[in-house]
Amino acid sequence: MITINCIGAGRWGPNVIRSITNLPDARVRMVCDLDEERLDRVRRHFSDIATTTDVDHAIEDAHADAIVIATPVRTHHRLARAALDAGKHVLVEKPLAPTLQECDDLIERADRSGLTLAVGHVFLFNAGIRKVKEYIDSGVLGRILYVHATRTNLGPIRDDVNAAWDLASHDLSIFDHWLGASPIWTNAYGQCFLSGDQHDVVVAAYRYPRDVMGFLHVSWLNPRKVREITVVGDRKMAVWNDMDLLEPVRLYDKSASTTRPPPYADSFGATRAIIRDGDVLIPKVSGPEPLSAECADFVRCIRTGEQPMNDGRMATAVVETLIASQRSVEQNGERVVIERAPRRASRQSPRPEPEPAGAL
């Protein structure tokens, strides 16, 4: 049984606590938060879970194998570093940290101690996202031309990061996962409508290897909650709509191509677009709740020593893109080349099974 302590019981923390308590091979022993009202809610719903306002007590707890961190981004590095130094495996919410130096520091500490470091890019565990990944990898869509994401809602508005760091981090992790690469450069624009220092609306373009384009629009200031990504290939197209619970993925047998004119064509219309408009396939998409799958994978990686799909290196690539996007926004949309720092390959050697945690 893997024993986990959770730090942070705000908007997202209770969801993580619930998901872990539902796993057959893991349990939550302790929840830490500075707000006593939040801890009261935890005690009402989970009577067997201890609570504390002392972060050090939760991290240093000898009974805990791992720490989950669901706190503001500015605290991620400090808390995750302390947990890793205490010999605990760590699942920290996205984004991993606000700076590359902090991200690299956490990766190095996890590697040095042989500990699992996972980051809460939960949409990588979404069944619809995985179905589209199957279409891309199998070549069903053909050569990928571009991907376009929209993620909007009226709130919730955060004060620790802007809309890109909050929302675009999801779509950038999906883009990287689908395309098997990170972007080369970006042009990004944003506006602070609600406050003077946090961009609540951001639109951005990204150039990926093999001339694939990525586009995204994220906003806290929109009348509709939208989570949708379109993937356009030269053979077929796919749409993932997370708000459609019954039919989240649609595969469109549609494409467009052009015919080239003969060498001495004298007709203005010699180059024509050929539109193919075929059927729409709605595949059966099923799987566990993404957060439950993420928590289960974290526990599995603790047991086996395997590197999680949402590891520190993958998360750091997203942070590199977010930093470049922010720089482009601050430069009024100027193109920013994303310089990727060299990193060592992930460790792959399995670790021994952890000793069972002690009783309360």
Give tens-digit pLDDT for 184-237: 999 999 999 987 789 999 999 999 999 999 999 999 999 999 999 999 999 999
Query: Can you tell me the mean pLDDT for 23-28?
Result: 97
Mean pLDDT of 7-16: 95
Statement: residue 281 has pLDDT above 50:
yes
Which are the contacts of 197, defined by CB distance < 8 A and separation ≥ 6? Answer: none
CA-based angle 194:205:189, to the nearest 5?
Answer: 30
For residue 268, the model assigns a pLDDT of: 57
Q: Is residue 343 part of a domain?
A: no
How many other CB atoms sit within 10 Å of the CB of residue 270? 12
Q: Assess if residue 50 is contained within a domain.
A: yes
Confidence of residue 355 (pLDDT cuts 50, 70, 90): very low
Decide if 158 is inside a domain.
no
| 214, part of any domain | no
What's the alpha-carbon Rg for the chain, to the nearest Å? 22
Share of the chain above pLDDT 70, in %: 91
How many CA atoms within 13 Å lie on the side-chain side of 349? 6
Q: Cα(66)–Cα(147) distance, rounded to whole angstroms?
A: 36
Q: What is the pLDDT of residue 309?
A: 97
- Total domains present in the chain: 1
Show Cβ contacts of residue 108 under 8 Å, excluding neighbours closer than 6 positions. none
Q: Are 255 and 222 in contact (CB under 8 A)?
A: no
Cα pseudo-dihedral 66, 70, 71, 73, rounded to 10: 100
CA 209, 212, 215 angle in degrees (round to 5)?
Answer: 120
- pLDDT confidence tier of residue 116, bands split at 50, 70 and 90: very high
**pLDDT-derived band of residue 264, with 50, 70 and 90 as boundaries?**
low
CB atoms inside a 10 Å sphere around CB 83 = 30
Integer distance in angstroms from the first to the last C-alpha of the chain? 13
* pLDDT (mean) for 45-71: 97
The pLDDT assigned to 274 comes to: 82
Q: Does residue 87 form part of some domain?
A: yes
Which pLDDT value is given to residue 157?
A: 87
CB 164 within 8 A of CB 202: yes
Closest CA to 119 of 134, 101, 106, 100: 106
Q: How far apart are CA 84 and CA 118, in angstroms?
A: 12
Mean of the pLDDT values across residues 30-52?
96
Q: How far apart are CA 165 and CA 161, in angstroms?
A: 6
Beta-strand (E) ranges in the chain? 2-7, 26-32, 50-52, 66-69, 89-93, 117-120, 144-154, 185-191, 201-208, 212-219, 221-233, 237-241, 249-259, 272-281, 336-337
**Averaged pLDDT score across all residues of the chain:** 92
Confidence (pLDDT) at 36? 96
| Residue 33: closest CA among 84, 66, 62, 68 | 68
Residue 64 included in any domain: yes
Name the DSSP letter for residue 307.
P
Task: State how far the Cα of 315 lies from the Cα of 77, in Å rounded to an integer.
Answer: 13
For the cut 60, the answer to whether the pLDDT of residue 272 exceeds it is: yes
The confidence band for 342, taking pLDDT boundaries of 50, 70 and 90, is confident
What's the full length of the chain, in residues? 360
Residue 308 belongs to some domain of the structure: yes
Q: Read off the pTM.
A: 0.91
Which pLDDT does position 353 carry in this prediction? Answer: 44
pLDDT for position 160: 82
What is the per-residue pLDDT for 158? 85
pLDDT digits (tens, 9 = 90+) for 168-180: 999 999 999 999 9
pLDDT of residue 356: 41
Confidence of residue 261 (pLDDT cuts 50, 70, 90): low
Q: How many CB atoms lie within 10 A of CB 41?
A: 15
Which has the higher per-residue pLDDT, 358 or 83?
A: 83
Three-state SS at 282: coil
Cα separation, 138 vs 130, in Å, equals 12
- What confidence tens digit (pLDDT) does each residue in 89-100 have? 999 999 999 999
> How far from 117 is each of 83, 114, 122, 317, 345, CA to CA, in Å?
10, 9, 14, 15, 14
Q: What are phi and psi of 232, to 5 degrees?
A: -110, 120
Domain assignment present for residue 248? The answer is no
CATH value at residue 82: 3.40.50.720
Range with lowest mean pLDDT among 201-215, 307-321, 334-348: 334-348
Tell whether the model's pLDDT for residue 14 goes beyond 80.
yes
- The domain containing residue 91 runs over which residues? 2-122+290-312
